[in-house]
C-alpha cells in the first residue's frame, strides 16, 4: 500500500510540475521575445501611436535622444523649479570632467537614450537589460513583487519591476540615485519615478520605447522621451572601460585653450 501511495504521489508531483512547465512555456510564448542586440537608431521613426497614447497629460516630450544635445538653459519643455534652474545655470561641462566625476555613470533615465547599444536577455521571472554605456546592468523583476521599501538603497539602475500589457513590456522604476536628467546641468532627485514601455516594431527588427518620468521635487510637469533601436545580429556588447585620465586631458585642453585666448 505504501509503495502504491508513493507512486501515486510521485505521479501527481510529475503532473503538477509538467502542467506548471507547460503554463510557463505558454505564457512565454504569448509575449514577444525582445531578446537580442539593439543599436540606437540613427534615424528614429515617429513616436509609435500606441506608446504616445499612454503618455499622461502635462508631459513635455524631449527631443534630445542619442547624440542630440540641448543648449544651455533649454530644458526641452520641462518646467524645473527655481532651485533646479539655479543649479543648472551654475553647472559647467568641466564640473563632470574631474577625476572623481568623469567615470561616474548617469542614471538609466539618461543612459537609456545614449548612443550606445544594449543587449536584452528575456526570461519569465526576470529580464536583464545590459547597456554598453558604463557597463550598466538592469534587472527587471517579472514575478509580481512590489518595489523595495522606501529606505532601501538607491542606485543608478534603481529598482525595476515589470509586467506585460498585451505585447508591450511595461517597466516601473524607483530608487534611482540623483543624477543627470538633461545634458545641460539639470539633475533629477532620488525620488524620481520612471515608467518605460517597450514593444517590437513591424517585422520585429525595431525596438520601440517610451520613457516617462515625474519628479515633483525638481519639475512642475512630467517629461518623456521616445527611443528606438535596430536589431543587429552577430554583435556583442563590449566593455566600456572608462578611463579617468580623460578628465585630466580635458582639463589640460581647457587650460591651454584659455591660455591661448588670453595671449597677446
Q: How does pLDDT run across 114-129, given as a tens digit for each residue?
A: 999 999 999 999 999 9
Same domain as 88, residue 17: no
Does one domain contain both 189 and 203? yes
CA dihedral angle for residue 214, residue 153, residue 226, residue 163, rounded to 10 degrees: -100
Task: Judge if 9 and 81 occupy the same domain.
Answer: no
Is pTM beyond 0.75? Reply is yes
**Do 132 and 228 share a structural domain?**
yes
CATH number for 229: 2.40.128.20
142 and 241 together in one domain: yes
Q: What confidence tens digit (pLDDT) does each residue in 215-239 have?
A: 999 999 999 999 999 999 999 999 9
C-alpha cell at 119: 543587449
CB atoms within 10 A of CB 11: 10
Same domain for 10 and 93, yes or no, is no
My answer on whether 140 and 177 are in the same domain is yes
pLDDT band at 99 (very low <50, low <70, confident <90, very high): confident
Residue 260's pLDDT band (cuts 50, 70, 90): very low
Same domain as 256, residue 152 = yes
Give residue 201's domain range.
33-262
pLDDT tens, residue by residue, 153-177: 999 999 999 999 999 999 999 999 9
Number of domains in the chain: 2
Q: Same domain, yes or no, for 55 and 158?
A: yes
Q: Distances from the Cα of 174 to the Cαs of 33, 148, 160, 194, 240, in angstroms?
A: 25, 9, 7, 7, 25
pLDDT of residue 219: 98
For residues 107 and 230, state if they share a domain. yes
Q: What is the pLDDT of residues 202-219, one digit of tens each?
A: 899 999 999 999 999 999
Amino acid at each position: 500500500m505504501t509503495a502504491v501511495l508513493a507512486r501515486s504521489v510521485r505521479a501527481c508531483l510529475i503532473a503538477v510540475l509538467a502542467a506548471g512547465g507547460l503554463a510557463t512555456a505558454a505564457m512565454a510564448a504569448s509575449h514577444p521575445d525582445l531578446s537580442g542586440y539593439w543599436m540606437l537608431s540613427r534615424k528614429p521613426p515617429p513616436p509609435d501611436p500606441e506608446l504616445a497614447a499612454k503618455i499622461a497629460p502635462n508631459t513635455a516630450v524631449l527631443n534630445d535622444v542619442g547624440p542630440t544635445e540641448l543648449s544651455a538653459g533649454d530644458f526641452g519643455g520641462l518646467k524645473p523649479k527655481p532651485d533646479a534652474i539655479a543649479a543648472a545655470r551654475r553647472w559647467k561641462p568641466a564640473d563632470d570632467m574631474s577625476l572623481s566625476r568623469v567615470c561616474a555613470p548617469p542614471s538609466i533615465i539618461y543612459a537609456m537614450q545614449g548612443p550606445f547599444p544594449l543587449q536584452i536577455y528575456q526570461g519569465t521571472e526576470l529580464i536583464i537589460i545590459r547597456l554598453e554605456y558604463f557597463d550598466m546592468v538592469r534587472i527587471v523583476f517579472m514575478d509580481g513583487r512590489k518595489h523595495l521599501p522606501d529606505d532601501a538603497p538607491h542606485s543608478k539602475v534603481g529598482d525595476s519591476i515589470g509586467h506585460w500589457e498585451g505585447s508591450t513590456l511595461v517597466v516601473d522604476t524607483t530608487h534611482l540615485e540623483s543624477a543627470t536628467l538633461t545634458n545641460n546641468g539639470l539633475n533629477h532627485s532620488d525620488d524620481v519615478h520612471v515608467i518605460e514601455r517597450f514593444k517590437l516594431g513591424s517585422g520585429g527588427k525595431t525596438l520601440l520605447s517610451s520613457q516617462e518620468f515625474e519628479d515633483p521635487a525638481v519639475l512642475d510637469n512630467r517629461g518623456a522621451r521616445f527611443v528606438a533601436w535596430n536589431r543587429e545580429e552577430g554583435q556583442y556588447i563590449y566593455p566600456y572601460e572608462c578611463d579617468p585620465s580623460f578628465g585630466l586631458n580635458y582639463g589640460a585642453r581647457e587650460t591651454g585653450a584659455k591660455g591661448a585666448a588670453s595671449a597677446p
